[in-house]
């Protein structure tokens, strides 16, 4: 099993279950040594079942700080968020960036509460998805890119646009030295879907990781835990690893994400 996981949610997002302490206890039981909480970023509009409300954010911090202290002899806990890039929320994103240990980027919509990334079907929409992530990286707002292949959920085929998108992500990763995630969440939890080339999991997508292997991109595994029990099974981890079996991927096993986050936050500060 993993020793580190930076992709952990809480029930505040509306689609995860379990108390904060239950996640910590399950992570300890599973042998996790470094646990990062990264619940879905709160924005000014409320959006139940998608992200926590802004009014819940102080409780999020206080609860996790208390658990960090309570379990300091058993596990190292860091506090972050899974952010998304929307220019109208930039001030809030910068605030979170400054006060949290780290941020990961998981772009779930093309506009704030607009079209879901899970519903993209055209090359133009894939381009729009990538450019939002590119902007976030250019502003040093994140420390790794969660499920970069998330946009392929509804995309009907592995075509030239998909391969071009993978190459764009590889170039972005290498330029900013930012890891790409092999995600163990919904893409493998919910089973295979039918695409033009046949059955496969929506993500992780082997075609993406073939490019990432060729380009020697840094890869980080994220459990994307939405239930404490996600720490207590290897089923979904094994499903994700089976998708990339045989690829010479550059997995980060002893990566100090927090050290790099501090450096990126300094770069962000220099922009403003």
pLDDT in tens, 211-244: 999 999 999 999 999 999 999 999 999 999 999 9
- Cα–Cα separations (whole angstroms), residue 234 to 27, 131, 136, 189, 199: 13, 34, 32, 12, 22
Quickly count: other Cβ atoms within 10 Å of residue 102's Cβ.
Answer: 23
pLDDT at 76: 98
Strand 193-195 and strand 198-200: the pairing is antiparallel
Dihedral (Cα; 180, 11, 201, 141), 10-degree rounding: -20
* pLDDT band per the 50, 70, 90 thresholds, residue 164: very high
Residue 29 token pair:
């039981």
pLDDT at 45: 87
Q: What is the CATH number of the domain that holds 261?
A: 3.20.20.140
77, containing H or E segment: strand 76-83
Q: Closest by alpha carbon to 178, among 272, 262, 261?
A: 261
d(CA 151, CA 118): 6
Residue numbers of the domain that contains 164: 4-271
**Average pLDDT over every residue of 25-47:** 96
pLDDT at 71: 98
**Average pLDDT over every residue of 87-111:** 97
**Average pLDDT over every residue of 12-23:** 97
pLDDT at 190: 93
Q: How many domains does the chain have?
A: 1
Q: Which residues contact 260 (CB under 8 A, 6 or more apart)?
A: 143, 177
d(CA 230, CA 8): 10
Task: With a cut of 90, say whether residue 206 has pLDDT above it.
Answer: yes
Q: What percent of the chain has pLDDT over 70?
A: 100
pLDDT at 253: 87
Helix, strand or coil, per DSSP, at residue 171: helix
* pLDDT band per the 50, 70, 90 thresholds, residue 124: very high
DSSP 81: E
Helices (H), 139-256: 160-176, 186-189, 206-214, 235-243
**Average pLDDT over every residue of 102-130:** 97
Length of the chain: 272
- Average pLDDT of the chain? 97
């Amino acid at each position: 099993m993993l020793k580190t996981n930076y992709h952990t949610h809480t029930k505040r997002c509306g689609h995860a279950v379990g108390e904060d302490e239950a996640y910590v206890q399950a992570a300890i039981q599973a042998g996790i040594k470094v646990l990062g909480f990264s619940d879905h970023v709160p924005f000014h509009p409320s959006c139940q079942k998608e992200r926590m409300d802004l009014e819940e954010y102080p409780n999020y911090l206080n609860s996790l700080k208390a658990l960090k202290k309570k379990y300091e002899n058993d596990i190292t806990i860091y506090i972050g968020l899974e952010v998304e890039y929307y220019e109208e929320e930039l001030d809030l994103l910068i605030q979170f960036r400054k006060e949290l240990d780290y941020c990961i980027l998981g772009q779930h919509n093309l506009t704030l509460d607009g079209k879901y990334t899970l519903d993209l079907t055209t090359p133009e929409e894939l381009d729009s998805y990538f450019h939002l992530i590119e902007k976030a990286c250019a502003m040093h707002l994140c420390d790794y890119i969660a499920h970069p292949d998330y946009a392929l959920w509804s995309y009907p085929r592995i075509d030239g646009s998909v391969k071009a998108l993978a190459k764009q992500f590889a170039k972005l990763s290498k330029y900013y030295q930012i890891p790409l995630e092999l995600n163990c969440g919904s893409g493998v939890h919910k089973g295979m879907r039918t695409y033009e080339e046949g059955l496969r999991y929506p993500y992780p997508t082997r075609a993406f990781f073939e490019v990432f292997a060729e380009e020697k991109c840094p890869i980080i595994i994220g459990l994307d835990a939405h239930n404490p029990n996600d720490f207590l099974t290897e089923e979904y981890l094994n499903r994700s690893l089976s998708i990339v079996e045989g690829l010479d991927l550059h997995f980060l096993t002893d990566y100090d994400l927090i050290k790099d986050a501090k450096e990126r936050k300094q770069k962000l500060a220099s922009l403003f």
